[in-house]
Structure 1
Amino acid sequence: MTIGSDAPHVTLLRHDRDTPTFEESHHSLQKRLCHWAETLTHCSIGYMEQLYTFSSFPVQGQTPHIHITYLALSPDHPLSCHGSLYHHFPWEDRRNESGTRQLAQFIAAIKHWAAGHDERQSRIAPAFGLDDLPWDDTRVLERYELLWESGLVPRSAPSPEATEEDDRRLLATALSRLRARIRYSPAVFDLLPKAFTLLQLQQAMETLSGRFMHKPNFRRLVLHQQLVEETGTYERAAAGRPARLYRFRPAAMASCYLGAAFLPLETPSWLIMY
């Protein structure tokens, strides 16, 4: 996964189609897969973890296929890419009016679907932030599965960037995991170049979460936690005052808590839906 100009971007690799080259120096499956992915995409991978194990039934009554999936983060953008995650889940991007309006329409429809069903209502409330519950960015998979169960979205997003039937569920799982990780780990820094501005860091967090953040409060939080340090250099901008460049402090690896960054949001008037 990488960060595009306005959305997280993803490239799906399948070992049954592109046989990985395993070397004796790679003593673990994860290291072998990391090397294979870097070779295929020509991108450096800063972080990789096992994401989930899926099972599928090719033909009813036959033994299911087991799929072990991994999530890899890279600051580089591969030449071959399956595109924006917000193409598959536009309602998860609450920074623009179109995505927010679609979410509002889904909420109205899924409330109708759950009406008179206590079990359904108990599931949609935390997933969609209803009944005075807060909106939780990390519940991407729950929202997608409820929208699919209610018949509001199909398994695969209609697109020239076609994906397989289960890929949308896999992508929802990946986005859920990544949104959770950026709250308590330095995962966002694996998606940035080694030197970056504080604005680029904030924009990366906003892109991944699909939400706006309050600029002064975000900067105060990052600097107070001493997550970054100055490089002594400046970004070369075409116009205006050059911005300081920072880098992540490895010493802050265990104390990276950016969850509070999601509290002081700047809220445009069209973002208020219900």
Structure 2
Amino acid sequence: MSIPPVAVGLNAVVMAAGETAPQVLVVPRGEEEPALPFGPFDPARHRTFEIGLREWVSEQAHFQLGYVEQLYTFGDRGREAPLADLPSSEEARIISIGYLALTPDTADLPSGGGEWQSWYRFFPWEDWRTGKPAILDGQIEPALRRWIDEAETEGRREARRDRARLTFGLDGRGWNEERCLDRYELLYSSGLITEAARDRREAQGMTAVSRSMASDHRRIVATAISRLRGKIKYRPVVFELMPDLFTLSRLQQVVESIVGFPLHKQNFRRALDRTGFVEGTGKVLAGTGGRPAELFRYRRDAVRDTQATGITIPRSR
């Protein structure tokens, strides 16, 4: 029995805080869908997966990676592999290893490379910072209820209803910010987003409300958002997105932009004080239009050898 070829690809979800929303680094492709930096693993040239990944990001996006961690391995049959010189056989199985990279740098990139785009451009239903997104009441929830009603049996309708309640908080079940990937998977499997139209030709009227991405790259970004939203609660990774000096207000804004909802200011600062993660510098940021704000720094050396937790996320009521 012949064994079909396997091709290993590498892709990076590079995230930065941005001024008003979290940013993801994409590689524009003209009129085609944007893609993540992506390329094949070459065992003859790349000593490690991470070395190969860094080469592809540098070549395609003109960006040098800092903090990187392995995210997930994606191996679903039928995946596309844009931008990669992978085996052309139709029998080849594409295995893609995704990485999450965090950076405080959102400077403009050299011409011909990557560009920063708000991750809420690709996932507008995830941003609750100013209240419930209009797209939920206006398009997603009605479409999901139609999808539920279209099930052939009561058992399937109930299964669909339970899934929609769990992921999108229908019927007052509550919103869990860490279920970004689950929500994307539901929108895809119910045929409500552009990728479903492209892959299965069955999207149902939501193709213009958010930007699609090449291959399954939007699914990979959703995986990264879910990972980051969960991880900031048990590891201090949010500081990989911060500059050397920052105000506490800016730190809160960055955390809010990641989790997608406003925080209770006093409770956030009390919880931050208990962690010992930051220390004041005695310097202030002037020109803020109000009382000068003190600049803080992350105590990286002080927490490096401890069992550091993450940032407490107290919702604003």
TM-score (norm 1): 0.81
- The 10-residue stretch of structure 1 (110-119 or 170-179) with the greater mean CA deviation from structure 2: 110-119
Q: Secondary structure at the match of 1:70?
A: strand
Instruction: Tell me which of 257, 261, 265 is aligned to 1:211.
Output: 261
Distance change in 2, residues 1:232/1:71 (3 Å): same
Once the two structures are TM-superposed, the CA of residue 93 in structure 1 deviates from its matched residue by: 0.6
Specify the code of the residue in structure 2 equivalent to 1:118: E
**Rg larger for:** 2
8 Å CA contact 1:92–1:140 kept in 2: the answer is: yes
Pick the aligned partner of 1:169 from 214, 219, 231: 219
Q: Which has the higher strand share?
A: 2
Q: Which of 191, 196, 211 in structure 2 is aligned with 1:151?
A: 191
* 1:87 matched residue in structure 2: 121
Give the helix-richer structure, 1 or 2: 1
Partner Cα distance (1:109, 1:64) in 2: 34
What whole-Å deviation, never above 9, does each CA across 1:17-38 have from its counterpart, x for those lacking one? 9x9xx78xxx643256347646
Identify the residue that residue 228 of structure 2 maps to in structure 1: 178
TM-score normalised by length of structure 2 = 0.71
Q: Distance in 2 between matches of 1:2 and 1:96?
A: 21
* Match of residue 192, structure 1, among 242, 252, 256: 242
Residue 53 (structure 2) pairs with residue 53 (structure 1): no
The equivalent position to 1:13 in structure 2, one of 37, 54, 73, is 37
**Segment drifting more, 31-40 vs 50-59:** 31-40
The verdict on how the C-alpha distance between 1:104 and 1:34 changes in structure 2, with shifts beyond 3 A counting, is: same
Shift of 1:163: 3.0
* SS across alignment from 1:145: helix
- Tell whether the 8 Å contact from 1:83 to 1:161 is kept in structure 2 after alignment: no
Q: By how many angstroms is 1:208 displaced?
A: 0.7
Corresponding residue SS for 1:202: helix
Unpaired segments ≥5 residues, structure 1? 267-274
Cα-Cα RMSD? 3.2
The yes-or-no answer on 1:256 pairing with 2:309 is yes
Deviation at 1:2, TM superposition (A): 0.8
Q: Which moved more, 1:227-236 or 1:115-124?
A: 115-124
Shift in Å at residue 144 of structure 1? 1.0
Match of 1:122 in 2: 162
Structure 2: give runs of 5+ residues left out of the alignment.
1-14, 26-35, 81-87, 199-206
| 66 and 82 in structure 1: CA distance in 2 versus 1, 3 angstrom threshold | farther
State, as a whole percentage, how many aligned pairs show the same letter.
Answer: 38
Matched residues, number:
259
Mean CA deviation greater in 199-208 or 156-165: 156-165
Q: Report the CA distance between 1:158 and its aligned residue.
A: 5.4
